[in-house]
Each structure stands twice: as structure tokens, then as C-alpha cells.
Structure 1
Amino acid sequence: MTTKKLPPKAIGAIGVVAMFAAWWVLSLTVFANVGVGDTKAIPSPIQVASGYAESGFQFYWRNFSVTINEAAQGYLWGCGLALLFAGLVLLVPKLEALVMQLAVITYCIPIVAIGPLVLIVLGPPPSGEPSGTAVFLAALSVFFTTVVGSLLGLKSADRSSLDVVTVYGGSKFTQLRKVRLVAALPAILTALQIAVPAAFLGAVLGEFFGKVEVGVGPAMLFAQQSLNSPRVWGLALVSGAVALIGYLVVGQLTRMAAPWAKGAEVSA
């Protein structure tokens, strides 16, 4: 007797329902009396939903639009520089050690340590404007993974194809443009997909240092200080949703640009 497997979307939906059910039960039992005064540390899903209605769409749009702007700028800067350095390494192999050391340094430096220094250098942003500190930390958060993923992809090119370009008088730049980029496209796009949530997280952390008035970071900080746990949880859930949507969008672009990477059929 054969058993049919549930489709991935159904499994995902069941997992989400189970997670919310567990959250609801724990908030009413184990964590029912955990909190400060009348504020529960872990509110129920109903309380969080009521918090959404109380805050209104405008509150979330005002704060998330600024943070998404910062994350997008940091994403473009960080990934753009990472791709540039990865391509430069293929053209000038002697630079690989230097580029990798730079990437490792950016990955190992704690954000909590470098954030205040970046704020001193860039200064606080004008009222309502994106934070330069948040943009910088978002770029820093994506640089390492994009460099490593891009280099691994660019080095995965077929040697015989590279030799053909060389035999016909092609340069290293021609190899990079005609062979390596095509071979590396799946790895590069995967690295860019992974970088989306990292950029958003870097932007949120940067707002804690950037002395900004509008954004997810200050909104969450104000909610913590006022012991408004439903709003804290609401901001956290929307942040996760935004990062997930960005991740899925780039993933969809990956499947469209390089369908062979996911085993999809390429129409003739």
C-alpha cells in the first residue's frame, strides 16, 4: 500500500499552524505569569493581533519603509563590492589572499563593537532620513557570504571550456565573461538570496546605534522601554516576514535566471 506524501506547501502550512498553536498554549500556561506587573513577557497571538489593530498600518509602514530602504542600500553596496572583488580575484589571482582576509575581517568584527565607531564617523542622520550607520552595517553583513559564494561559483567553471577560450586567443576577462559567469550564476544568485535577511538584520542593528527617530530599531526600543510586549512581538514577526519575503523574491529570480540550478526544465 503506497502512501502519498504531502506537498511542501501543505507541510509548511501545518508547521506554521502547529507553531502558533504551541505559542498560544505556552502563553496561557507555562508563561502565563511571566512578566513585569500587568505586562506579559509572552503575549498570546490574539494580543499580538490586537496590537496590530491598535498600532495601525501607518505605524508599521512608516517604520519599515525606512529600514527596508536602509537594508536595500546596504544590500546593493555590500553585494556590489563583493561581486567586484570576486571578479577582480579571477583577473588578478594574486589578490585572492588579500580579498579573503578582508572578507574574513568584515565577518569577524562584532557589530556591537564597530557600530559606535561608524556612528562617530558618519554621524546621526537627519530627521526621518535613512541612517548611514544602518546602511553601512547592512553592507557589512552581506559582504563575506557574497564574496565566498561568488568565488566558489566562479572557480567552478569547466576547465576544458576555459582552455577553449585560451586556444582561440581569449583573455582572462573573456573567460570571466563567457564561461565563468555562466557557470557561477547559480552560486552567485544563491549567495545573493542568503544576503537578503542578513542585510535587513544589519540595518535593524544599525538603527540601534544610529540615533534614528524612525525605523524598526527605534520602534522596537521604544516598545521595550514602555513594556509593550505585544508591539515588540508584532515588530519581530513583521521583521521576520519582510526578511522571508525578500528571500523568496530573490529565490524566485534565481529560478527564473538559472532554472538548471534547481533541476527545473528549460524550455526550448
Structure 2
Amino acid sequence: MTSERQGRFPAWATSALGAAAIVALWLLAAWLWRVGVAADPSAPASKADAVPYPQDVVAAALSAGAEYFGRHFGVSLAEAGIGYVVGNALALVFAGVVLVLPAIEGIVVQIATITYCIPIVAMGAVLIVMTPIPDAGEPALTPIVLAGLSVFFTTVVGALLGLKTAERSVLDVITVYGGSRFTQLRKVRLISAVPAILGALQIAVPAAFLGAVLGEFFGKVEAGVGRAMMIAQTNVDAPLVWALALASGIAALAGYGILGLVARGVAPWSKGVSA
């Protein structure tokens, strides 16, 4: 085991090599794209900028400024955060109720499956008709609902699987001493389910942000990443579109990493480290 660890690259080196490889592939893709556009005499000149070089994206981001990104990302993160909290809270409540009342498990799983199977675009089209126009710069209801729907199924399934991992012998001891299903849930199942629940919550972070951004594409918003992307697309500003997309990925990855650190601190045994 020790020799295997000594043969591995440090985490920072692996990350640096991965980032360098991505940038190299990006440069190659941008160059090949321009070669292909140049070989097509009917292609418009603006088509060459559809796959910009990394330095063009960085220049577009610097030109837009921190205030621009802060305004739009502030709204999207607020929408994603509200949807994340509400959607996950409902999912955990439903999962807990199933453990107390096992007869309704099929109903809860069916509800979660329906929310997962309904196309998010169709749901957004319905919600945009029903929801009011928010005040300028305020979170909109459609992105919030879509963010909540995006995390509900994952957390319900993860929580149910985690709550069922409790040792049968420990549950039997509680039953012998007169404990109820609620006592089992509170004393044993919740503790054993912590790693699975934290894993589901971690996966839900990018899903919530994606749901919020998609919700902004339906309109009725004055600010947000989706709104900013639509304006940049209308202006045929490909570098800014790429800058917004990359910043969105970084924001989602940061949230995912933060939840990973929380999971490592709350349930270190789930990550293979000591407390």
C-alpha cells in the first residue's frame, strides 16, 4: 500500500496536468475549427470565432468585469441555493416518512421518479406561464422550482438507500426494548445514512445550479447567468458566452468541492480517512 502511494502523483500535480491537457486540447480544437472555416468559402467570417482561443475568453471576461459577473451570478446562485435547500429538505422529509411508514414507499418513489422523468424544459414552459415577473435583480420563481426539481430525485433515492443500511441487529435491539420506528430512525438509521445522504447532497449541487440557469432561459428575469448568455448569443459574442459557461462550471465545481469537504469533516469514515 505504501509503495502504491509513493508511485502516485500528488493531488496538486494531477490537477495541474489535467488543466494543462484541457488547455492544450482547447487550443488544438480552436485551431482546427479555424482551419475548417477557412476551407469553406461560403462560411461567414464570424463563424471562425465560434470556438475562441483561451486568451480570447479571458480577455472577454476581463472586459465584462467583476461587477458584471457578480450581478448575474449572484442572482443565479441565490435561485440555485433556494431551490437546493427546499428540494433537498422535501426529499429528506419524504425519505424519513417512508422509514416510519414503509407502506408509502412505492408512492414516494413514484413521485420522485415522475419529477425525474418529466423533461425539465416542458416543466419550465409550464411554470413560465404561471409565475409572476420578479423585481429587477431578484431571484425568479421558475429557476428556483427547476433547481428544486433537479435535486429531488437524487436525494430521495440516496437518502432511502442510506437509511436502509443500518445494521438489522441494532434495530432489533431497539425493538426489543420497546423502541418505535421513529426511535430507530433517530437513533440508528440517520447516523448510518449520513455518508449516503452527504453524497447525494454533493451530487445535487451542480444539478441545482444547472436547473436554475435553464430556468432563466425561459425569460421573466432581469439578471442571471442564463439571461447573460442569451444576450451574449444575440450579440454574437462567442468569447463572452464561453466565459460565462466556464465560470458556471467553476461555480458548480466549487460548490461540489465544498460539500465534499463538509462530508469529509462530518463523516470522515465515508471518505476513507480517520476522524
TM-score, scaled to structure 1: 0.95
Identify the residue that residue 20 of structure 2 maps to in structure 1: 17
Contact 1:118 1:133 in 2 (8 A): yes
SS in 1 for 2:217: helix
Identify the residue that residue 67 of structure 1 maps to in structure 2: 76
Q: Which amino acid in structure 1 is aligned with residue 13 of structure 2?
A: A
Alpha-carbon separation, structure 2, partners of 1:124 and 1:95: 37
Mapped pair 1:215 → 2:224: yes
Alpha-carbon separation, structure 1, partners of 2:195 and 2:12: 23
Alpha-carbon separation, structure 2, partners of 1:36 and 1:43: 15
SS in 2 for 1:72: helix
Deviations 1:43-69 (A, max 9, x none): 000100110111010000000000000
SS in 1 for 2:257: helix
SS in 2 for 1:251: helix
Contact 1:150 1:188 in 2 (8 A): yes
Mapped pair 1:248 → 2:257: yes
Alpha-carbon separation, structure 2, partners of 1:30 and 1:250: 37
The correspondence for 1:182, drawn from 163, 185, 191, is 191
Mapped pair 1:38 → 2:46: yes
Alpha-carbon separation, structure 2, partners of 1:93 and 1:185: 20
**1:36 to 1:153, Cα distance in 2 relative to 1, 3 A:** farther
The correspondence for 1:8, drawn from 11, 15, 37, is 11
The correspondence for 1:50, drawn from 52, 59, 72, is 59
Give ranges in structure 1 of 5+ residues lacking alignment: none
Alpha-carbon separation, structure 2, partners of 1:136 and 1:175: 33
Alpha-carbon separation, structure 1, partners of 2:149 and 2:136: 24
The correspondence for 1:235, drawn from 244, 248, 255, is 244
Number of equivalenced pairs: 266
**1:106 to 1:10, Cα distance in 2 relative to 1, 3 A:** same
Identity of aligned residues (%): 53
Identify the residue that residue 127 of structure 2 maps to in structure 1: 118
Alpha-carbon separation, structure 1, partners of 2:125 and 2:34: 35
CA apart distance, 1:231:
0.2
SS in 1 for 2:34: coil
Alpha-carbon separation, structure 1, partners of 2:15 and 2:115: 35
The worse-fitting range, judged by mean Cα deviation, of 105-114 and 207-216 is 207-216
The correspondence for 1:94, drawn from 89, 92, 103, is 103
CA apart distance, 1:32:
4.7
Q: Which amino acid in structure 1 is aligned with residue 14 of structure 2?
A: I
**1:118 to 1:98, Cα distance in 2 relative to 1, 3 A:** same
Alpha-carbon separation, structure 2, partners of 1:154 and 1:216: 36
Deviations 1:224-249 (A, max 9, x none): 11110000000000000000000000
Q: Which amino acid in structure 2 is aligned with residue 5 of structure 1?
A: R
CA apart distance, 1:27:
1.1
Alpha-carbon separation, structure 1, partners of 2:35 and 2:147: 37
Identify the residue that residue 182 of structure 2 maps to in structure 1: 173
Alpha-carbon separation, structure 1, partners of 2:103 and 2:34: 57
Contact 1:162 1:179 in 2 (8 A): yes
Alpha-carbon separation, structure 2, partners of 1:223 and 1:156: 48
SS in 1 for 2:255: helix
**1:36 to 1:214, Cα distance in 2 relative to 1, 3 A:** farther
Alpha-carbon separation, structure 2, partners of 1:213 and 1:69: 14
Deviations 1:199-219 (A, max 9, x none): 000000001114211000010
Alpha-carbon separation, structure 1, partners of 2:62 and 2:194: 43
Q: Which amino acid in structure 2 is aligned with residue 60 of structure 1?
A: F
TM-score, scaled to structure 2: 0.93
Considering only aligned residues, what root-mean-square deviation do their CA atoms show, in Å? 1.6
CA apart distance, 1:179:
0.2
**1:32 to 1:123, Cα distance in 2 relative to 1, 3 A:** farther
Alpha-carbon separation, structure 1, partners of 2:91 and 2:35: 47
Q: Which amino acid in structure 1 is aligned with residue 121 of structure 2?
A: V
